[in-house]
Amino acid sequence: MQFFFNFGRYLLLMKSTFSKPLNYKYFFKQLGTEINDIGLNSLGIVSIISVFIGAVLVIQAGYQIQNPLIPAYTLGYGVRESVILEFSPTIVSLILSGKIGSSIASQIGTMRVTEQIDALDIMGVNSASFLILPKIIAGLLVFPFLVSISMMIGITGGYLAAIMWGISSSVDFIAGLNYWFVPFEIVYAIFKATFFSFLIVSISAYYGYFAKGGAEDVGRASTKAVVYGSVAILLSNLIITKLFLS
């Protein structure tokens, strides 16, 4: 019952969010700020995680693929597929769900409990659209960029690990990267990441927007945002993968 109540309220919030901005100049100013907060400020963590995961993938795959019957290019091929199909769009989104989701929920939640949202409503400003829409648009714009960067850095990290520890030769690894490359996989990965960005931002905004009480409740809203955001990512990952790849 609680699920249906929350889902219905979430849909109503989204309906209210997707309305014409009151002042476009102000909207674009906020959009710029959100692109910086959600995108540029996440670049560091995304790069660090990607390079290490790429390297670890190569070491683990190299450890498992030691049979001389398996072609040498398999390592590069496997790393490319893992990074593009799953690691960059899904794992990066899960990590960003923690970083961005908790930040959005606590920011909006604090505005709610300190009556800043009430102040917007009383002025006649559509608070949902004013606060949430720039964040959603910013997420939709920057996630494909972040995921693309993550793919590049992840594969580079794998390549460096392969060469540095002699797991594979440069020629074999690059041959694997080029082997049976299907460009649609990039489209699939970017689509997935874009959809996940919408889930992360909208779910965390929902929990922040309806926060009640004080600091403890804002903290609770922030935790819920991360938990439910992550669950939504995993569930939709399964559905999207089944629809696109099976």
Kindly state the smallest distance separating residue 167's Cβ from other proteins, in Å. 48
Please, which of residues 93-112 interact with other proteins by CB under 8 A? 110-111
Pick the closer one to other proteins by CB: 113 or 163: 113
Q: How many CB atoms lie within 10 A of CB 18?
A: 12
Kindly state the smallest distance separating residue 112's Cβ from other proteins, in Å. 11
Comparing C-alpha atoms, which of 145, 142, 151, 148 is closest to residue 36?
142
> What's the CA angle centered on 51, arms 87 and 158, to 5 degrees?
80
Pick the closer one to other proteins by CB: 125 or 240: 125
Pick the closer one to other proteins by CB: 7 or 26: 26
Using rule CB under 8 A, residue 121 touches other proteins: yes
Using rule CB under 8 A, residue 215 touches other proteins: no
Sign of the alpha-carbon torsion through 197, 200, 205, 206 = positive
Contacts of 37 (CB under 8 A, 6+ apart): 103, 138
Candidates 7-15, 39-47, 123-131, 184-192: pick the segment binding other proteins (CB under 8 A): 123-131
Using rule CB under 8 A, residue 12 touches other proteins: no
CA distance 181 to 27: 40
**Binding string, residues 17-56; x marks residues near other proteins by CB under 8 A:** -----xx-xx------------------------------
Kindly state the smallest distance separating residue 22's Cβ from other proteins, in Å. 6
Using rule CB under 8 A, residue 114 touches other proteins: yes
Site size for other proteins, by CB under 8 A? 16
CA distance 246 to 241: 7
Which tokens go with 80?
A: 């490319």
Kindly state the smallest distance separating residue 200's Cβ from other proteins, in Å. 21
Q: How many CB atoms lie within 10 A of CB 166?
A: 8
Kindly state the smallest distance separating residue 203's Cβ from other proteins, in Å. 22
CA distance 166 to 170: 9
CA distance 223 to 163: 41
Candidates 84-92, 121-129, 157-165, 184-192: pick the segment binding other proteins (CB under 8 A): 121-129
Candidates 114-122, 150-158, 200-208, 211-219: pick the segment binding other proteins (CB under 8 A): 114-122
Comparing C-alpha atoms, which of 142, 141, 140, 120 is closest to residue 131?
120
Contacts of 104 (CB under 8 A, 6+ apart): 135, 201, 204, 205, 208, 225
Give the residues lining the site for other proteins (CB under 8 A). 22-23, 25-26, 110-111, 114-116, 118-119, 121-125
